[in-house]
Structure 1
Amino acid sequence: MSSTNFSEILSGLYDNQVIPYLGPGVLNDVVNTINGESIPADSNSLILAMNGGKPMAPKLMYEFPRAAMNQELKRGRSFVTQFLDKTYAQNQWSRAAVHNWLAEWRPKYVIDINRDTQLQDSYADEEHTLIVGLARVIGNSFRFKIYHYDGSSYFEIPQHQVDLNLPVLFKPMGTPRPESNYVASDADYVDYITELMGGFAIPDFLKEYRKDKKYLLLGLPLNRDSERMVMSDIVYAANEHRGWFLRKNPTDKEKRFSERMGFELIEIECQEFLQSLETAATIAA
């Protein structure tokens, strides 16, 4: 990564003009503190965890939403919710280095498509706004819930009560806290993305705030349609130069897509990015 890129990314992050967008790769260093097993985060590991460690049919191994849809049809939607609760509601995971870094400077706006609670833990000692994605809900035109965190607990609030001075944590694919809501199966994604495209899955204040911003895609694969479609709509109205896509050994498909979207590809992973930060801090000191 060139010093020019590094400087531009850092200054943009700390000025809240570059938005961190977190994918499963930011959890690559997270393990169970009891047995040392890695946290299920990417599509393949989630499928294996959901199926008791056994691979599913090749067509279902293609993407977690497809496998989750299969299990939902067999066992009911509650099975997928219970699996994700069991996986992410527990507090025995080690901390990710990326989340420790975020906790040091608390950006004003972070997007996290993972379903764990580490981002929320990073802001646990200060007030913030949490936006959680929803799918296939009855009696609600919107595909999100907004919560205010008062320093000790969450409570749901309407859009007009959001304090625009507080940090915003956007969890489009859900979280177990303060209540279980997830976008997981194919049917969930179809509903969520449809409403996302229609403008009903993002609060109005975020539609304004995101205008002309840039993004840093950290640990986010772009080789599957689900992640690509969600990301494309969430970053709508971004700067013409959308930002940076950090990905080591990207596929040709990822290269073409990121270029078409306006992202600059930097072939490193997020852990290498953090090492660059540490090196720069050491030199500065």
Structure 2
Amino acid sequence: MNAPFDSYVLLEGEKAEDALGKIAAELKTGTVIPYIGPGLTQLSPTEAPMTPETLAAFFGTKVALPKRAKGNCWASAQHIENMKHRSTVSALMSQAFTDSIAPTPLHVYLASLQLPMIVDSWYDATMRSALEGRGGWGEIQGITRAGIGEDRWYRFYEADGTETTKEKAEAWKTVLYKPHGSVAPAKNFLISDADYVEVLTEIDIQTPLPEAVKNRRSERSFLFVGCRFHDQLLRTYARQIMKRSTTTHHAIVDPAALTKNELKFLTIQGIIPIALPIDRACEILIR
């Protein structure tokens, strides 16, 4: 059942466009952090799975899944890891996201702004591709701790894909933060239930979040573009990444698609929904 907006501010029509125009101006100053998801990337032609559900369906075309895992990409990945091997999960993720995706105009625009931070919540490398050829940026990725024998939650990569240190990351003009990992440059994936066990145990105390991310969110707001929050894991990550930032944020939404849990999340987190088609929202942000 779709969520009602009885007691919450939903910006529509001219109010939505005016509000987004003001956010666009703030984006240029670096006071707004874009938090982008697969809903933005899928504006470009691609066969890569661009939702948790289509990723689960992809797994289902490769491996027979039990009923409890169908439709849930994290449970599907865990089943494959249990029945086969972690290397099989990584190989399938690499296969799912192997094709390069042309950056959308908004990806390219965000790359041109030299923002303090861009959060990208999906596994493709489209935002990295948009940043290529520009200086002063690097990438921080969440990594699985399963079987690595290291007390690490994330890794740092220079623009050329070379692994580097947190000290060098602090000096980057722009941090591309991929909390769930990415196919590039090193095929780091947080995807199975086991991957998230330790992370979710400690994320409330912020241990799995890099200091560079914590520092750059301070005194800034977030703009969510192409993101859904219909799964508890997605809500948990967004909530923890937003922690200790400003108290008001915005999200481009399709009101007809929002679930009650999504609406509750937006309300509690102070995220004002802007009801605009995503392609129209992108036009306003880059004009």
**TM-score, normalising length from structure 1?**
0.86
**Structure 2 partner of 1:78:** 87
Equivalent of 1:259 in 263, 267, 286 = 267
Uncovered stretches (5+) of structure 2, i.e. residues with no partner: 1-11
**Structure 1 partner of 2:238:** 231
Deviation at 1:276, TM superposition (A): 3.5
Deviation at 1:28, TM superposition (A): 2.1
**Structure 1 partner of 2:185:** 178
Equivalent of 2:31 in 2, 14, 17 = 17
CA contact (8 A) 2:108 2:131 kept: no
Deviation at 1:83, TM superposition (A): 1.0
Amino acid at match of 1:15: T
**Structure 2 partner of 1:6:** 20
CA contact (8 A) 1:144 1:201 kept: yes
1:213-232 counterparts in 2 under 5 A?
Answer: 213-232=220-239
SS of equivalent to 2:119: strand
Structure 2 CA distance for aligned equivalents of residues 268 and 166 of structure 1: 31
Equivalent of 1:273 in 268, 281, 284 = 281
In structure 2, the CA distance between the partners of 1:136 and 1:52, relative to structure 1 (3 Å rule), is: same
Instruction: Answer with 69-78 or 95-104: which moved more.
Output: 95-104
In structure 2, the CA distance between the partners of 1:97 and 1:52, relative to structure 1 (3 Å rule), is: farther
Quote the RMSD (CA, aligned, Å): 2.2
Structure 2 CA distance for aligned equivalents of residues 271 and 219 of structure 1: 10
Amino acid at match of 1:162: A
Where do 4+ consecutive residues of structure 1 move more than 6 Å? none
In structure 2, the CA distance between the partners of 1:276 and 1:160, relative to structure 1 (3 Å rule), is: closer
**Structure 2 partner of 1:35:** none
How many equivalent residue pairs? 269
**Structure 1 partner of 2:176:** 169
Uncovered stretches (5+) of structure 1, i.e. residues with no partner: 33-37
Sequence identity percentage = 21
In structure 2, the CA distance between the partners of 1:157 and 1:95, relative to structure 1 (3 Å rule), is: closer
Structure 2 CA distance for aligned equivalents of residues 213 and 277 of structure 1: 17
Structure 2 CA distance for aligned equivalents of residues 189 and 271 of structure 1: 32
SS of equivalent to 1:61: coil
SS of equivalent to 1:239: coil
